[in-house]
Amino acid sequence: MNLFDVYPLFDIEPIKAEGAFIWDEKGTKYLDFYGGHAVISIGHSHPHYVKKLTQQLNNIAFYSNAVKMPLQNLLAEQLGKLCGYNDYNLFLCNSGTEANENALKLASFHNGRKKVIAFTDSFHGRTSLSLGATDDAKLSANINKDHEVVFLPMNDVAAFKNAISESVCAVIIEGIQGVGGINVPSDDFLVVIESECKKLGVVLILDEIQSGYGRSGKFFAHQYSGIKPHIITTAKGMGNGFPVAGVLIHPDIKANHGMLGTTFGGNYLACAASLSVLEVIENENLIVNALKIGNFIMDELKKMDGIKNARGMGLMIGIETEGDAALIRKKLLFDEKIFTGFSSGKNTIRLLPPLNIGMREAQLFLSAINKILQQQLIPN
């Protein structure tokens, strides 16, 4: 049997990782400024993370959600404390798309409606309704195209007010759009969305799957605006590489036995991984660090010739270049040995490094991209 060939692969085979660095099978060392799609939040192979997972594996790795698991309650308590939503309830699942599926399903359970408002350049996942709310038609098969979803331009208050009504079930919006090119919804726009949703009984879902867990310089990116959505979804950095996701649910949305379910969600190892991530984020002040180092990187990028724009929050940064961003990303990887991401429609390089990088790693990246930009500016 062969693998189903859906991923274009770099000719690199990582075999070891520590902190913000990866080594391949040839011993070549790479700086990781992508974190496997924002997954590596506290650094590769963090000793506290490894210790907690190992201890749990030696005790019990899995049983179903039909039994008591105090680790789940502890995770909900610690997450609520650190993110500021301690009055919300937590449903644990496995991935970002699953979190969004459950969030949209909950919204429909809550108000009985089905129409959804999403935004241009959005990405919410690759399954059923989460894909229906994703603004990328090429990802959808015919079976995915019957959902009642309206796409609106980001930060367009007039368009939003014109579209919202009592027929709408939910509005889903990313705290910061990742795949779409690091696009940040304005505070004013989020405040309007919250107000209109409350007025009309529409459920507001904040997709913080990529922008959450301290990456923006706050626990969730939407917290800069002061709003409180009905539902928040999170995944990526939640388990530092262990598959885990969560749905944070307003207490007004009531649970009934059987309305949601999962086989693997909230298993012992997922909880151990997630608890260790929260402990490291808190003990090492990684949210403050993300804001400090991220602001420094963006400030320095904006001074460089060859860069149109550097946008984002904390360590979720988009670099829009004058030249071909795909080529620059390739040179960063193969010439400078630095992993980054890419948003093709925006000609934008995405930076999503571990939250515990320091000034040394920041300077390594800045020197490398400046070197490449200068080479492009020199006439042949």
The CATH code of the domain that includes 329 is: 3.90.1150.10
pLDDT at 379: 58
In a domain, 6, yes or no: no
Which residues lie across from 18 on neighbouring strands? 21
pLDDT at 345: 77
Structural domain total, the chain:
2
In a domain, 3, yes or no: no
Q: Give the number of other CB atoms < 10 A from CB of residue 255.
A: 12
φ, ψ (nearest 5 deg) of residue 35: 60, 30
Which pTM does this prediction carry? Answer: 0.97
> Is the distance from CB of 235 to CB of 245 less than 8 angstroms?
yes
Edge-to-edge strand ranges of the sheet holding 341-343: 307-313, 316-321, 348-351, 341-343
Q: Are residues 222 and 158 in the same domain?
A: yes
Q: Give the number of other CB atoms < 10 A from CB of residue 323.
A: 16
What is the mean pLDDT for each group of 10 consecutive residues in the chain (380 residues)?
95 98 98 97 98 98 96 98 98 98 98 98 95 93 90 98 98 97 97 98 98 98 98 98 98 96 97 98 98 98 96 97 94 98 89 98 98 80
Q: Are residues 122 and 264 in the same domain?
A: yes
In a domain, 180, yes or no: yes
How would you classify the pairing of strands 149-152 and 115-119?
A: parallel
Residue with tokens 């990116």: 221
pLDDT at 143: 87
Domain that holds residue 113: 49-283
pLDDT at 346: 80
Residue with tokens 């019957």: 146
Beta strands in 99-194 (DSSP E): 115-119, 149-152, 168-174
pLDDT at 77: 98
Q: Are residues 143 and 193 in the same domain?
A: yes
In a domain, 252, yes or no: yes
Q: Are residues 213 and 331 in the same domain?
A: no
Q: Are residues 249 and 346 in the same domain?
A: no
Instruction: Please give the Cα distance from 266 to 260 (Å, whole number).
Output: 13
Q: Are residues 144 and 232 in the same domain?
A: yes
Closest CA to 52 of 239, 265, 287: 239
pLDDT at 56: 98
Cα within 13 Å of Cα(17), Cβ side: 22
Q: Are residues 260 and 306 in the same domain?
A: no
Instruction: Enumerate the H helices of 23-155 as residue ranges.
Output: 35-38, 47-59, 70-83, 96-111, 128-132
Residue that is last in its domain, among 240, 265, 283: 283
In a domain, 9, yes or no: no
Phi-psi region of 373 (alpha: psi -120 to 50; beta: other; left: phi over 0): alpha
Measured CA to CA in angstroms, residue 76 lies from 11, 157, 161, 234, 250 at distances of: 40, 35, 35, 13, 13
In a domain, 5, yes or no: no
Q: Are residues 42 and 185 in the same domain?
A: no
Q: Are residues 42 and 86 in the same domain?
A: no
Query: Exposed (0-12), middle (13-18) or buried (19+): which is 180, by Cβ within 10 Å?
Result: buried
Q: Are residues 54 and 165 in the same domain?
A: yes
Count how many residues are written for the chain.
Answer: 380
Residue that is last in its domain, among 248, 283, 318: 283
Beta strands in the chain (DSSP E): 14-18, 21-24, 29-32, 89-93, 115-119, 149-152, 168-174, 203-207, 231-234, 245-249, 307-313, 316-321, 338-339, 341-343, 348-351
In a domain, 155, yes or no: yes
Q: Are residues 31 and 75 in the same domain?
A: no
Instruction: Please give the Cα distance from 76 to 72 (Å, whole number).
Output: 6
Instruction: Please give the Cα distance from 21 to 105 (Å, whole number).
Output: 39
Closest CA to 45 of 242, 271, 315: 242
In a domain, 306, yes or no: yes
Q: Please work out, in degrees rounded to the nearest 5, the angle formed at the alpha carbon of residue 225 by the alpha carbons of 223 and 226.
A: 65
Residue that is last in its domain, among 255, 283, 311: 283
Q: Please work out, in degrees rounded to the nearest 5, the angle formed at the alpha carbon of residue 101 by the alpha carbons of 99 and 107.
A: 100
Q: Are residues 304 and 279 in the same domain?
A: no
Helix (H) or strand (E) holding 265: none
| CATH number of the domain where residue 106 is located | 3.40.640.10
